[in-house]
Structure 1
């Protein structure tokens, strides 16, 4: 059975595709000499691996957790006869591969991609032959260089604190797709609730002068169509909607959107009609205040590390959060896969898009190369997801940062997406006049002192917070708090914040006190609790690492869903 057999990209789907997950030949290139030894021309490699799982994971069949600076993959693929016919193109898609990826087909070098977290595609048509074709992938991952994002991957041999088992090489689905020479490369859909329409910008290849058609459907019924001609590589159109169905929190109404490019390329997509605003220190969705009750989700799995073992587990993590009364998540120090975002979209589960900046020294000039290009790819890939209400590319950044880099990140993000909320870096170091929101991280475990710290905000006063120095402001978003240490199965082991509660009752009382302090404050409109699940030695999740609830979900839900002060003001 093919692992992770589902189509991995619901927002840009084609019918002619081949899933390449499963057994590949594999080899660790400890001396990084594989290209010199021409492994891309080798008959076989020394081991095998179960793709898309990283070699550190149990599901890969290897569970090799030492550092691997270079790894190789090889697989022979038999293509349908019509895929190599004249006028057809074949694209190799890799969901994510950490960190620098080079691809060879039948011994021919194709291209490389830099970045370990976002999807990418390569046109391999010119290297293909009829019948069997050998695909070789080389991944170089210099995690300890401080020149690449690593997120929560540990730069020491053993996991420690809030750094965990590493991910090297391929960790998301690999697949082939086939289409005509003239094809749609990507689309950008910008909904306008006021105009009852969706604006589409499409990038097409080899399609100058051809007609692009779009049809929007809701519940299977066509509710809007439009067409235009491609000019060069670009096409823009507006689809007016006969019916307006708003996407809301907990009610993820989605329209289907089908594209046809003259010449036979068909792409299926979808979109949600919603408007996000940040004003008066409140989040508004479709004109109504939404209190962000968020959970910190790090997207780690005991057997797959960065990769969920099944699609069902992606869905289950969202539902576990919702069962406890959270309406969304900070997707923390990792770019989550498109399939997860699709389920957020359809379930009405709001999320913040983030990158994995930990491990990257953002004081160095090399940080520009290591971060900006991939962040642009993240924006391009994930812009169309209605569940994403804000961007926060960085987390807990150092004081000696390159201020020009921080400002360029903000300018680039806003120029591509002027409609979402933006935070330069969650917690710790903020630059003046860059973020829409001043957020803080606060792991005070005493509900009384925690409440008292934020009370002056209700009178319009500033407060002082200490994260890598002194910061004064009016934070309406406590974007990390709690992290209460609770692991009764191993009372002496693990790691968490502050002093450990002595009983379940003490935990619930502390949790209630911290959450209620924020909900009852008229100046606070968003929180994010740390965290959804334990991750390895960090045992402050509301669920264990293997996803068992530590407390009755209905108890946590009752606390989280108390009506907030800002909601009473509506």
Structure 2
């Protein structure tokens, strides 16, 4: 396996503000500009337990403490490490905008202030002026500071982040209780991804949407603009390691999102795949009537396709069995924020070393640089939202009731991640719970709304309406189940009904929770979760789930783990109608000790044996992948 060497040059210099800045790498790898300012590091900070800070003047006053951004105040690396409920928190920092940014657009230079993610409800002021509000803890947002801050100015940035317990919101796996418990982990409040600035001209490029067309050997590039100027053109150039491949241009004064189609010559066509994750460089320029460059961004793309043929999901026309692992993206010292870019890369490498060819990015919207590494290494990804358990209506008090904000935030995630070739499927909801009935229809409406929104935003990828439990959309592209039966023979019997058109489905004793299966491609998207911790083996009779737990009865020793893993996995590999599986999980996470690796990413078992089980061809791959 290799990656495209010229992509190593894609990033501009890290952390122009200095080597001591945490998370110094460029945070947006598919829309790269050379001028930028990393604002991670030390900020003033104060906890606002009663959310009364606005009335008490915290917007105007120095704050009493400090924090290291971009790490959440609950985390060790933040320097705060307060894991209590934080109803509101405040940040404050002075920033000097580089004077030479005026070269970008003169008096029409716009300074953009970017936030990778702030959990949950953020308001931002610059020199006392409110510049942006955003709700949703997983997705990026931007403030255009034109008229508020210009090149050469020194300004004060103030951020208030509110994370009220009683407000319905998507939290993923963040605990609604004071302490961690079961599958609930330490909360994340406030800024948890990189904060940064960049300059753009008044007429500038927004994030390009790159759609590969493998059959036509082309890239369709939709280029949203901030505004149209007479005589402007958009030019898209594609390159590879050997140099320029092709380019095309179109007028940019007629359409707020000009469409450019770039055809790849036959002798330069090289599809992106798990075996050969080839990437093309994509340069996008906005030029004026004289051909001068007004704005430019560097990006990349992979030429690959995803298709459905009967019960098969095909990648580049081939039945690629998806050996996925559940990756929850938590770290002991930094929670949902990776401690370093190397840590993001390492998680992809750990999955590959264990024999997996991809991951479900589970219950959070991962930092975009994770996808950069997955793109480079040919690691398949299912993108997901962080809504765990939404729709319980009395079963759990987790405050993740589906609302309009779910749809809004999910669309923001789709916009950010659309062009990443490693993403081969979308799943907007996970383990939603509600009996089918004609009285309470909120879950039906939100599920269908998120499914339709996903299909409209991206018709090129399959969409799973909800992973596990409540399938509410009859025409969902994919069907799945979660099955944590630990006895291999019983598991094989339960998941063996696909051939008869009656695959395993999650149910409630009280009645049905899903619309009927209609012959879609099917996989068991959560299984395993084998409870194994070598240090805890002597406590096999213990049942303190706050200290250690996994699914079912814990295995007595490592040999028991390998025997169970092989038995469960073989049952799925042997089904010719199943296109993949997802094993729970890549690493232990706090008290949940069912990972292939420990929480600190060290080995706790023979990973080579895990890999060996998965290396044999799946029955799905032996045939044509599309049985009748």
Range into which the TM-score falls when normalised by the shorter chain: over 0.9
1:60 positional shift: 0.3
Task: Assess if the C-alpha contact under 8 Å between 1:196 and 1:241 holds in 2.
Answer: yes
Identify the residue that residue 349 of structure 1 maps to in structure 2.
379
- 1:93 offset after TM fit, Å? 0.6
1:362 and 1:552 map into 2 onto residues whose CA distance is 39
CA–CA separation in structure 2 for the residues paired with 1:293 and 1:143: 37
Equivalent position of 2:64 in the other structure:
46
Q: Tell me what 1:395 maps to.
A: 430
Q: Indicate the residue corresponding to 1:60 in structure 2.
A: 78
Pairing of 1:81-480 with structure 2 (within 5 A): 81-83=99-101, 85-128=106-149, 130-145=152-167, 147-209=168-230, 210-230=232-252, 231-242=254-265, 243-262=268-287, 263-358=293-388, 360-361=390-391, 367-399=402-434, 401-458=442-499, 460-469=500-509, 470=512, 473=517, 476-480=522-526
CA distance in 2, matches of 1:370, 1:416: 17
SS at match of 2:505: strand
How many angstroms apart in 2 are the aligned matches of 1:416 and 1:181? 26
Query: Normalized per residue, which structure has more strand?
Result: 1
Shift >6 Å, 4+ stretches: 362-366
Query: How many residue pairs were aligned?
Result: 567
Q: Equivalent residue for 1:10?
A: 29
Deviation at 1:368, TM superposition (A): 3.1
Q: 1:562 to 1:191 in 2, by over 3 A?
A: same
2-structure distance, mates of 1:202, 1:452: 50
Give distance in 1, aligned partners of 2:400 and 2:611: 46
Q: Matches of 1:144 and 1:251 in 2, distance apart?
A: 48
Q: Deviations over 1:271-304 (max 9, x none)?
A: 1000001222112111110101000000000001
Cα distance, 1:407 vs structure 2: 1.1
Aligned mates of 1:362, 1:228 — CA distance in 2: 50
| Gap regions ≥5 residues in structure 1 | none
Q: Work out whether residues 16 and 179 of structure 1, in 8 Å CA contact, stay in contact via their aligned partners in 2.
A: no
Q: Is the 8 A contact 1:427 1:467 kept in 2?
A: no
Mean Cα displacement is larger for which, 546-555 or 534-543? 546-555
CA separation of 1:37 and 1:31: change in aligned 2, threshold 3 A: same
Q: Distance in 1 between matches of 2:33 and 2:242?
A: 18
* Superposed displacement of residue 250, structure 1: 3.7
1:524 aligns with 578
Question: Which whole-Å CA distance do the structure 2 matches of 1:7 and 1:362 have between them?
Answer: 39
**1:33 matched residue in structure 2:** 52
Shift of 1:205: 1.3
Residue 510 (1) aligns with residue 567 (2) = no
Segments of 5+ residues of structure 2 without an aligned counterpart are 1-19, 288-292, 394-398, 436-441, 540-546
SS of match in other structure, 1:186: coil
What TM-score do the two structures reach when normalised by structure 2?
0.87
Moved more, 471-480 or 358-367: 358-367
CA contact (8 A) 2:364 2:385 kept: yes
Say which SS state the counterpart of residue 402 (structure 1) adopts: helix
Q: Which residue of 1 aligns with 2:596?
A: 542
SS in 2 for 1:185: coil
Deviation for aligned residue 1:207: 3.1
Higher mean Cα deviation, 415-424 or 74-83?
74-83
Q: Distance in 2 between matches of 1:462 and 1:419?
A: 28
- What root-mean-square deviation, in Å, do the aligned CA atoms of Structure 1 and Structure 2 show? 1.8
| 3-state SS of 1:380 partner | helix
Q: What is the rounded CA distance, in whole Å, between the counterparts of 1:309 and 1:326 in structure 2? A: 23
Contact 2:134 2:141 (C-alpha < 8 Å) held by counterparts: yes
Question: CA 1:365–1:32 in 2, change beyond 3 Å: closer, same or farther?
Answer: closer
Q: Which digits, 9 at most, give the CA deviation of each residue in 1:229-253, with x for residues without a partner?
A: 2225221111111221100014211
Deviates more, 1:466-475 or 1:340-349: 466-475
Partner residue of 2:96? 78
Calculate the TM-score normalised by the size of structure 1: 0.96
Whether contact under 8 Å (2:323, 2:356) holds in the other structure is yes
